[in-house]
Structure 1
Amino acid sequence: MPRILRTLFAAAAFAAAPLAIQSAAAAPAAPANYGTAPEFTGIGKWLNSEPLTLAGLRGKVVLVDFWTYSCINCINTLPHVRKWYDKYRDQGLVVVGVHTPEYAFERSTGNVQAALKRFDIRYPVAQDNAYATWNAWRNQYWPALYLVDASGNVVYKHFGEGQYAETEAAIQKALGQRR
């Protein structure tokens, strides 16, 4: 008898699973909030900009891109990040690249400056050789994108390549909420 009951319960659970999935999919997504964005800290050099602080950027939407210039995945995301910078900067988006080196040769400011020129990066880049900002954000990945809303909260994050449409939609949503 217990075997029959287990079989019936399993069949009922299996039959109900699509309904649970459907209702979860139909429910509106709660706005993501990963907490207050950590400050840029321990930055050795700022390129393309005077030093920035998130406190000073309050009221703007900030896309923080952790990258390094010899990472192929980072290189593949750069055209999208540049496009968002060009498309949305006049609407209040600030893009900040945080260059955190994986290898010793990536610590050279001259090498980073050459990469900025090669990849046509005109937005501010923080050189985080000491991993201070990397650690403050508890980041673990190259590339890593964090979107900070006008109130200073991280509302979106993505690691690696891809999800470009989702990232752009998050940017648009954050900019829309800013008004």
Structure 2
Amino acid sequence: MLSQLKTLAIVATFAATTATAATAIAAPLKNGPPAPEFTGITKWLNSEPITLQQLRGKVVLVDFWTYTCINCVNTLPYVKAWNQKYKDQGLTVIGVHTPEYPFERNTDNVKTAIKRFGISYPVAQDNQYATWSAYNNQYWPAFYLIDKKGQIVYTHFGEGDYAQTEAKIQALLAQKD
């Protein structure tokens, strides 16, 4: 009986910890901080260099990813679908490819991955982690939603909560300037 109670206590503690962690993974931010500018970008793929200043008045989804991260690969169908569905309504998706391994710094490897995954939106190659550091990012994948005024208003780390993220994109696009 005592061992069953211990097991129940451990399971309950784990469940509470998991629930708390899951809540922190996707978080809308009220009056979020200004989004840091893209910095230290080695190469822009699928576009000329872009600044956040140029994107004022648009909703921006910044997606930190790397091409060998399975969690990142699993999010790509959603990111590509949001880009396709909302780009004409004012959403700009920027992939920030930040390598985990040395071979991921090779631009040809990143280009091959972009082609293989069918990514058409701009990808910034952040080989020195400058933009990653500017965002104080710690995760692959990581989404940062930036409102039309340039404020970070939503973050999500890891996979999941796709409906919540899409609902936030829709709400931001519906806001008046």
**Aligned equivalent of 2:125:** 127
Aligned positions, number:
150
2:144 paired with 1:117: no
Q: Provide the TM-score with structure 2 as the length reference.
A: 0.83
Contact 1:69 1:75 survives alignment (8 Å): yes
Deviation of 1:115 after TM superposition, in Å, equals 0.3
- C-alpha deviations, 1:56-99, integer Å up to 9, x for none? 10000000000000000000000000000000000000000000
Deviation of 1:31 after TM superposition, in Å, equals 6.2
Deviation of 1:33 after TM superposition, in Å, equals 3.1
Query: Matches of residues 132-171 of structure 1 in structure 2 within 5 Å?
Result: 132-171=130-169
**Aligned equivalent of 1:22:** none
- Choose 1 or 2 for highest CA Rg: 1
2:97 paired with 1:99: yes
C-alpha distance in 1 between matches for 2:170 and 2:92: 13
Contact 2:45 2:125 survives alignment (8 Å): yes
Q: Provide the TM-score with structure 1 as the length reference.
A: 0.82
Secondary structure of 2:118's match? coil
C-alpha distance in 2 between matches for 1:172 and 1:178: 12
Percent of residue pairs identical? 69
1:50 pairs, out of 48, 53, 57, with 48
- C-alpha deviations, 1:140-162, integer Å up to 9, x for none? 00000000000000011000000
**Aligned equivalent of 1:59:** 57
Q: 1:102 to 1:178 in 2, by over 3 A?
A: farther
Secondary structure of 1:56's match? helix
C-alpha distance in 2 between matches for 1:175 and 1:78: 21
Q: In structure 1, list runs of 5 or more residues that go unmatched.
A: 1-29
